[in-house]
Structure 1
């Protein structure tokens, strides 16, 4: 691994490939853990604060994602000035403050504020993980690394709800935020000791509003970058809707699985993990475009299949059928989004921090807004989620067609490595 140091900076032993992937995956995984670990606590939180409307608990996800989206524009840009390492450590401090506030929250409003602060801090992990990977890789090799990171990252949603449920068996929901704080401290120590500065010295820039705006302008003016980023935002809207609604669908609103809810959630996330592994293995030979275009088209068709299934049965579809449709859709999501992100970032190596932060800011806020709209439409059935998958997936296909000039399944302009 190349280490980029300024004169006077201490040398840090570079991690090997597997450790590099694990650290980056954990940087990304803070977000998944902060969301999925809390899902089993919705009921106890509702009872503790006497929340009347069940759909209001979805605000625990929305508040986090809004903070998460807004701050990405800051961390990526600052990291181009001060370096990736200092920017990440600042973010982890903010996240830790949010965890402590949540543990001491005395009202639902205070808890929502704490969740927003958590989101502000965790944005550093998301945006800098992509910038760090882009510092080292490009083209199909970047997509391969991102897929491995995504595969490890998806292990967290498999186990996080079970961890949350386990914590609730021995203590109160406040302890779940203690688990989040513990994970934050582990990442801070591991990253601090093992990850060197990856920002290329020639790409380090002085702080300049003009330079930042120039980087953002370069990002939004690139047709491929903007088209794929917008499509990714629509796909993220589907994921946010699923996360917001899954507790109501599986645990107590539609299928009444109760304590089996974490198992259903883990099974679907596990399929996503397998798909990410397949993507990592295939992307160098098949190409980012072919895999992601197949993924987004298949995802849209599976959204339509969910709609048909919801309408065909007098009541909810059989739980096994519904879980299978969701798992296949999420697997295709895993073939799509990492490649969309790599294609969007490919032309922007010289402004990777700013580009990654703006793309993260844009796609997260777009995804959070769309996810909230779909999630708040929950009516006790699975139809709203199926419609969301189908309509947003179809819009993503249109955007990809626009970005590619009306062509799908090509392999043009895909680099083979760094």
Structure 2
């Protein structure tokens, strides 16, 4: 209903304020005019028609008053005056009566006219106030209507729309800009979730297809013991891959939900332990790990922080070159920094590596290949701890430098 919304309430408020101001102004003007009107008229009449001229006029006598005009009481003979009045002496009673009568009549007529004009103007002012208040309320609420219409139109398919309110800076302009910012974040989140769901479905479908093919081919005909052993090894390998993917997805979801507990965690000790745990794998790949850990303690979840460091160092080891190296550094100024040698990474692809299932190269399904969740888990754990994860392509020697700044 158009007369039951915020616009109607604002119109009523604006109209009430305008009418109150108009009524007060009209009342003050009427009272002020009434207070000084009689004195002004009396002075004007006395100045315009002096008393000695009133005495000379036939109408100055009491019997000459028109019908309906009040007459003064007969006056007793007055003592002789020094001479005709010039306006500075004593004014005869007949002259005073005429002046008072004329002043009263002029005052009454002027006040009646003033009241009539004031009421007429006030009525016109009231009608104009209602129209002006309705138009003003509509102008004030127009941005809210634009925001409401945009919100009604939004769905998963048109999150790219924005309000883009064109107006001067103010509360409603900031509200519209905040809404546009929220739409941008929602669009990025929905797009990321859609890509994540599609990639997760693809990544999980591949191991299932491999398992089915291995079972169908391996069990076709009369399988030999060697064939069964090879199929068993393949199924275990595929199951391990599926388990790593599911574990990574669960860890990513847990990181996105935030922290359930916080306690002091010494990241320098954790970096030493992680490097020691991956030393054998690094040796098999011909990669050297160097740790330069300065004391660094943060408040957080030790399990998630251990997974963050493990993913950083493991990625640095696995995406490396023979006789390459990995350097792990911690400290109050650097946070966590992991640098490795490896393939040259195009700078424009570096930000994409933090998205789930993103890899520098297409997946080859070789043993030990990751699921593409390492850096996305690092980014989620960092954000859960109020930190920021960034990566930079190394100009010399290839590889990446990943920093987590707390």
Question: TM-score range with shorter-chain normalisation?
Answer: under 0.3
**Structure (1 or 2) with the greater strand fraction:** 2
**Structure (1 or 2) with the greater helix fraction:** 1
Over alpha carbons, which structure has the higher Rg? 2
Q: TM-score, length-normalised on structure 1?
A: 0.20
Q: TM-score, length-normalised on structure 2?
A: 0.20
